[in-house]
Structure 1
Amino acid sequence: MEILLWLAPALVVTVVAMVWVSWVGRDGHGEIDRDVAVERLGKALAKELPAGTRRTTSPARDRSTGIAVRPSHGSASTGDGTRRAS
C-alpha cells in the first residue's frame, strides 16, 4: 500500500483541476442575452473588410490520388498490342 503513495500528489492535482473546471464552466458564468449575441453577430458579418485583408479563393489544383497509373498506350508498348510486365 505504501508504494501507491506516490500517486497521491497526482490525484490531488487532478481533483483540484476538475473542481476548478466545473466552477469556471458552470451555467450563467459570463452568459449574455441571446438577442444581444445575435445583434453582435449581425454587425460583425455586415462589416466590410479592408481591401488588403480580403481572402481570394485559391485556384483548384489537380488532386492526386496517390496511385500511379501507366498510360494504356505509349512509347513503352511492344508493338503487338499486348502489355508485358517489366
Structure 2
Amino acid sequence: MVLLWLLPPVVATVLAMLWVGWLGREGRGEVDRETAVRRMGEALSSPQRTPGYAVAPPEADRSTGVAVRPSRRAS
C-alpha cells in the first residue's frame, strides 16, 4: 500500500513505451537489396584512413616483475 503512489507513473511509462514502439515500426525506409549491396561495395572499396595522433605513444617500461630502485649517478 505504501508504494501504491508509484502505480500511475509506471502505467503511464509502460503505455508511452508501447505507443512509441508501435509508431516506430513504420517508416524505417527499407532499401532494396541491389542498393544495399552497391552501398556496401562502395564502403568496402573506399580507402581506409588511419587516425593520426598528435602525441607519440609512450615507451613501454620493461617489467621484470621485481621492484628495483633506480641507480644513483656518481658525481
Output the TM-score relative to the length of structure 1. Answer: 0.46
Structure (1 or 2) with the larger CA radius of gyration? 1
Distance 1:8 1:23 in 2: 22
RMSD, aligned α-carbons: 2.6
Structure 1 unaligned segments of length 5 or more: list them.
55-86
Q: Percent identity, aligned pairs only?
A: 34
For 1:35, what is the secondary structure of its paired residue?
helix
1:1-58 deviations in whole A, cap 9, x for unaligned? Answer: 7x6343111111111112102221x2552211121011000110011113xx07xxxx
Please name the residue that 2:22 is paired with.
22
More relative contact order, 1 or 2 (CA 8 Å, 6+ apart): 1
For 1:48, what is the secondary structure of its paired residue?
coil
Write out the 4+ residue segments of structure 1 that deviate beyond 4 Å after TM superposition.
none
Please name the residue that 1:39 is paired with.
38
